Structure 1
């Protein structure tokens, strides 16, 4: 459930879906992030990068498991994609 001041794994999955990624319900934050970076292309990488920037710069509190998943899954995958593109 989306709360204005808290981002949990369900919120993360909802936001990943909102940018067009196919992420099943019931995944952990780590699994959702791993799913999100599979098959990155320019459009998906751009949308994902914008989402990460929005999450990290917002005022909402990101639960530790979600923050760890972003740090360990999304950020390295986006950096690697940017270097290879």
Structure 2
């Protein structure tokens, strides 16, 4: 039997919380990403950027709603200015 690593909205939320971000339980992937970018400090921005790079470059499969939330909310917020 083959097992795939899947990252769903709860996995995304748990990763964001592990970075010290305050994300309520039960939110969608899009909402979690919106909470994550509110008031980003330079340190948190760097940690979030590393998390996104790891998720996008890793072997796990991101569910479409997670990939879309990252693309629409996190990536634009993490672009250096």
Normalised by the length of structure 1, the TM-score is 0.89
Deviation at 1:61, TM superposition (A): 0.4
Q: Which secondary structure state, in structure 2, belongs to the residue aligned with residue 20 of structure 1?
A: coil
Normalised by the length of structure 2, the TM-score is 0.94
CA distance in 2, matches of 1:12, 1:19: 11
Aligned pair count reads: 79
Q: Name segments (4+ residues, structure 1) moved above 6 Å.
A: none
Name the structure 2 match of 1:72: 72
Q: Which runs of 5+ in 2 are unaligned?
A: none
Deviation at 1:34, TM superposition (A): 0.4
Q: Which runs of 5+ in 1 are unaligned?
A: none
